[in-house]
Chain A
Amino acid sequence: MSMVEKKISMYEKMLQLKEKINGEEAQKFKEFYNGKFFSGDITITEKMETVTLTFHHGKCIDVVEGIPNSGLDIGVSGSKEDWDKFVTHKSLSVATNKGNSNNLTTHGGAIRFRQNFNVVAQLIRVYASIR
């Protein structure tokens, strides 16, 4: 057995995230964080890798590399250091607070993003747990 650890791509991690957000995390995601009202795309970028998850009423129905042909809906991006920092607190509010360093960058229309802030916040919190 090889002792070399296989590097998992961002896309593969997002497939794991899809399983988790549709499985053990589904109830909390849909009900407490209002995921059941969200239909659309959430694009996540870490370093130079971008993956988009498509949701229908809070269920993740597709994962694609990059930004869909229809364009970016909402999302967050950051460098490896930014995501490393995020993992320590797991809060999008903290990661977008002006007073803090190594913040994440939000993408998409400001209104749409605020309407679905909890959905994105919880999705990337779960992502942080498997990253």
Chain B
Amino acid sequence: MGINGFYITVSGIKIYCETNNGPENGDTIICLHTAGRENRQYHDMMEILKDKYQMISFDMPAHGKSWPLAGNKVINNYVDYGKFVWAVIEELGVKDPIVIGCSMGGNIVYHLAQEYPVKAICSMQGSDYTPTIDEKILELLNHPYVNPQHSHLEFSECLIGSATTQERRDFILWGVMQEIGITKQGDLTQYNGFDVREKMDQVTCPVLVVHGLDDKIATGEMAEATMSRLTNCKTIVYRPIEDYGHFILVENPELVSVYLDEFIQMIDKQGKVEVLN
């Protein structure tokens, strides 16, 4: 295990980060976790790619081992989410980052590519428009009479792909049991309000889209609709994966790592228009 944890302070908040201690003279990959969860989701990918890339994952405020915002508040809109991610990247001193994320992290990479100077992005189970969750469910995620760790179990369970091993399925569901109601509420509120369609033509960096097709909420159709709006992006690589689902980075980190490695090698060596399907 070559992963080490450390803290940085961003906007006055203690943020927990992990690195795989990969080569410092190459690309640095910034890793964004899914809603309500934390950076352990990247352990397998960080191990697989440790000899090729420096990868840094971090827990967003109020997630995992990071502190919440002042007054025990959470981020609940994508503009603040994007600002915070970029502030972390600046504090880490990373230039030209390749930013990868899954689910809400797979959404926000599009916003980051619109607003900040990223080298490239990888969107896993992401979209530019995700108004999918009932507001009543969001409200009850932080209600004294409702236990989010139980009431929201099936929401994650149904998203896991059919080919996922039991061990990985268990880790995903353990993640539900560790969730904090107010944190999940903030994440899914920003996820529900995520709409960056109008600026998709401003994304010009290389984009890798990895999508587990066993996902009935963030669907392959949503990913494809999103890619269709990348009208000024010269390098789009789409890698759909059969029989795996929403937590693709945990469900099949081996294949995601292969696709990510191929993508980075391609943009580093060629930097030219290439669309794979």
Contacts and interface: CB of A to CB of B under 8 A. Distances in A.
A94 B215 CA distance: 9
A91 B147 contact: no
A117 B151 CA distance: 6
A118 B150 contact: yes
B136 interface: yes
Contact of A99 (B131, B137, B146, B157): B131
A121 interface: yes
A97 interface: yes
Given A91-B216, A111-B146, A114-B146, A98 B151 contact: no
B154 A92 contact: yes
B217 A118 contact: no
A131 B146 CA distance: 31
A98 B132 contact: yes
A31 B159 CA distance: 21
B143 interface: yes
Contacts of B151: 114-115, 117-118
A94 B133 CA distance: 10
B163 interface: no
Given A89-B216, A115-B151, A117-B151, A96 B134 contact: yes
A16 interface: no
A93 B154 contact: yes
B133 A98 contact: yes
Contacts of A118: 150-151, 153-154
Interface residues of B, number: 25
A33 B159 CA distance: 16
A110 interface: yes
Nearest to A120: B154
A100 B221 CA distance: 12
Task: Name the prevailing secondary structure of the A interface residues.
Answer: helix
B132 to A, nearest CB: 4
A102 interface: no
Interface in B178-236: 216-217, 219, 222
B80 to A, nearest CB: 23
Contacts of B130: 99
A22 interface: no
A100 B216 contact: yes
Nearest to A112: B145
A94 B145 contact: no
A34 B154 CA distance: 12
Given A99-B130, A117-B154, A118-B153, 12 more contacts: A89-B158, A89-B216, A91-B158, A92-B154, A92-B158, A93-B158, A93-B159, A97-B217, A99-B132, A100-B217, A111-B146, A117-B151
29 contacts: A33-B154, A89-B158, A91-B154, A91-B157, A91-B216, A92-B154, A92-B158, A93-B155, A93-B159, A94-B217, A96-B137, A97-B134, A97-B216, A98-B134, A99-B131, A99-B222, A100-B216, A100-B217, A111-B140, A111-B143, A114-B143, A114-B151, A115-B147, A117-B150, A117-B151, A118-B153, A118-B154, A121-B154, A122-B154
Interface of B: 130-134, 136-137, 140, 143, 145-147, 150-155, 157-159, 216-217, 219, 222
Interface of A: 33-34, 89, 91-94, 96-100, 110-111, 114-115, 117-118, 121-122
The 7 closest A-B pairs by CB, nearest first: A91-B158, A99-B132, A94-B216, A93-B155, A121-B154, A114-B140, A114-B151
